[in-house]
Amino acid sequence: MALSIVILAAGQGTRMKSGLPKVLHPLATKPLLEHVIDTAKTIRPQKIIVVYGHGGNLVKDKLSHTGVQWVEQAQQLGTGHAVDQAIPLIDAGDTVLVLYGDVPLTKSETLENLIGKVSKTSMGLLTVKLDNPAGYGRIVRNAKGDVERIVEQKDANADQLKINEVNTGLLAVSGAKLQDWLKRLENKNAQGEYYLTDIIAMAVSENIKVETVQAANESEVMGVNDKRQLAELERKFQREQADKLMIAGVTLADPDRIDIRGNITTGKDVSIDINVILQGKVEIGNNVSIGPNNVIRDTKIGDNVQIQANCVIEESIIGNDSRIGPFARVRPESRLAENTHIGNFVEIKKSDVGVGSKVNHLSYIGDSVIGKDVNIGAGTITCNYDGANKHQTVIGDNVFIGSDTQLVAPVKVGDGATIAAGTTITKDVPAGELAISRTPQSTRKGWKRPTKNRK
Task: Tell me 119's DSSP state.
Answer: B
User: CA quadruple 131, 132, 138, 143: dihedral positive or negative?
Assistant: positive
> In angstroms, rounded to a whole number, what is the distance separating the alpha carbons of residues 401 and 394?
13
CA-CA distance, 32 to 15, in Å (whole number)?
A: 16
Contact by Cβ (8 Å): 174, 87: no
Instruction: Give Cα 335 to chain centroid, integer Å.
Output: 24
CA–CA separation, 74 and 69 (whole Å)? 16
Q: In 12-48, which positions are buried (b, 16+ CB within 10 angstroms) versus exposed (e)?
A: ebeebeeeebbbbbebbeebbbbbbbebbeeeebebb
- Measure the CA–CA gap between 323 and 289, rounded to whole angstroms: 10
Overall size of the chain counted in residues? 455
55 vs 19: CA distance, rounded Å? 9
Ramachandran region of residue 157, left (φ > 0), alpha (ψ -120 to 50) or beta?
beta
First-to-last CA distance in the chain?
Answer: 95
In the sheet that holds 251-252, the strands lie side by side as 251-252, 271-272, 289-290, 306-307, 323-324, 341-344, 358-361, 375-376, 400-401, 418-419, 434-435
Bond before 255 cis per omega within 30 degrees: no
In whole angstroms, what is the distance from residue 7 CA to residue 51 CA? 6
Residue in 25, 54, 361, 391 annotated catalytic: 361
Alpha-carbon distances of 299 from 94, 282, 295, 319, 365, rounded to whole Å: 42, 5, 10, 11, 19
CA-nearest of 329, 333, 433 to 392 is 333
Phi, psi angle pair for 166, to nearest 5°: -125, 160
54 is known as an active-site residue: no
**Catalytic residue annotation:** 361
